[in-house]
Chain A
């Protein structure tokens, strides 16, 4: 049984069919790339999986459970974490606090324990701190922990968002164009980091990315979308030889 299976998703905005009977599956520990031209529906898939958009038909099954009936915060509780195409950080919190928020469901002292500074809250805070330190080390952000999240370089902020997503110890990680806007030198580094995360944590990853070099070098499987439909699926080599893909995507965009 695949870890994630997206089945026949349908999503429309007014007259636009953003997703058209879209299906694909991701196995446990697999790194699946989702590529396609602008407007193909890649971010919309993420928004459906994470409970932000409600598709009109179809299913999203994660570990045997249909996610489509759950609100976004319950989807997170199932072990799904994501980053956003446009940064969505908390600018007035520090880097550390941004990452800690990713662990919102890891430890759950209630409001009263927090306000009264009860031992339960202090223990939770220590545990979260230790987890955050690990994630910060993995993403190379240790030295920036105390900085406010505003005012850091774009590439660093992208890593903070990745760290926040990792903090929840997800079983499925959705990355929406993590390399977009990075200076060329950092793209390779980020690719290595993603490959390492997959290797060390053994989690399933869905990667939406326009950087074909990175996609082809680290993915196990590539799903190609165009106009909300899956036009091709296979290993990086298979996909890069597919004539329909070359026509629809690589031909015009690359």
Chain B
């Protein structure tokens, strides 16, 4: 698609979303908030897994660490949300960097298992420290992120705008990074680590840095979670949440820019839609599974990949017939399957 058209579309979408509080009610805005922090969470996973090829089933833990950090800082220690913002991101990023160290030695399934361990351990921590965190009961945060008085807008609208602005910022950063020297190196490591290494990419350092950045982004989603809900509990950050993020990434399109946003919309609205049809909600996971299988089978690039193909086809059909259109690429193997170079 034309670069300017894409840019205009995104800007238009952002404007529409920003105007939403004037049009729709509080219930819808709460739902939008959830989609926004889910977008950031799926984007964080996409940077690690989609772009860099490192698997994680532990992103719920990075989110949870930052969400609990924020809740404790604001509720028990009198911090402002704004002070907790950089601090909670930093804490999540630090834990992410530590988690990235074993990822240098192990890969694929085993890395997934290590992060799975992280995801499983995290919900136990608040229970272990029940006195401070309320344990399984969860922990409410009394103070809201209040709108500045001079703006004269509702707190709900203000929170939504803050979340939306931060998410848009993250999206822009990811987009810039994708089209840069560092982004290319990150993707090169995913596709051909040995070739990347001999081309001068410090593979080990990059992988740890990506782990830290991704965890920090998940931490931002965690901060957003606490801002939006003013409540945290261990059940908000179970492994199931991580798996949902993976699902959102796969369905939206892993390794794409728009995919995580589409995935987040899916994650929030499909269960709602299922409820609406009167199907037993117990069947939602089965439905997810079915959709996932269909997407992996028919749309390996996810929804975003499918859209890109469609628009490429559209552009090609509008071109004069003698000009070669960029057919959607088939993917022959570029790399040998032997393990040594």
Interface positions of A (Cβ within 8 A of B)? 43, 47, 50-52, 71-73, 75-77, 81-82, 84-93, 97, 100-102, 104-105, 107-111, 114-117, 121, 124-125, 128, 146-151, 157, 164, 168
Contacts and interface: CB of A to CB of B under 8 A. Distances in A.
Contacts of B335: 86-89, 91
A89 B177 contact: no
A114 B199 contact: no
Interface in B320-341: 326, 329-332, 334-336, 338, 340-341
B203 to A, nearest CB: 7
A206 B97 CA distance: 40
Interface-centre pick from A86, A92, A125 (highest chain B CB count, 10 A): A92
Given A115-B177, A121-B180, A91 B331 contact: yes
14 contacts: A47-B341, A72-B194, A86-B338, A89-B334, A104-B185, A109-B180, A114-B176, A115-B174, A121-B180, A125-B180, A128-B181, A150-B331, A150-B334, A168-B199
A114 B191 contact: no
A90 B187 contact: yes
B196 interface: yes
Contact of A82 (B188, B198, B331): B198
Contacts, number: 132
Interface-centre pick from A101, A125, A149, A168 (highest chain B CB count, 10 A): A101
Report, as a range, how many residues of chain B touch the other chain.
35 or more
Nearest to A104: B200
B301 to A, nearest CB: 10
Contacts of A151: 329-332
A108 B331 CA distance: 31
A149 B202 CA distance: 23
Nearest to B301: A92
A168 B200 contact: yes
Contact of A101 (B176, B184, B340, B341): B184
Contact of A110 (B174, B182, B326, B331): B182
Interface string B112-136: 0000000000000000000000000
Contacts of A91: 191, 331, 334-335
Nearest to B180: A114
A115 B176 contact: yes
A92 B191 contact: yes
B324 to A, nearest CB: 10
Contacts of A149: 334
Nearest to B197: A72
Contact of B200 (A47, A77, A90): A77
A72 B198 contact: yes
B195 interface: yes
Interface in B155-210: 173-174, 176-177, 180-185, 187-188, 191-192, 194-203, 209
B168 to A, nearest CB: 14
B181 A147 contact: no
A75 B334 contact: no
Interface-centre pick from A51, A72, A151 (highest chain B CB count, 10 A): A72
Contacts of A124: 181
B255 interface: yes
A147 B192 CA distance: 18
A76 B192 CA distance: 16
B341 A43 contact: yes
A92 B53 CA distance: 12
B201 A73 contact: yes
Contacts of B203: 73
A72 B189 CA distance: 14
A109 B199 contact: no
A109 B332 CA distance: 33
A141 to B, nearest CB: 16
A47 B185 CA distance: 21
A52 B194 contact: yes
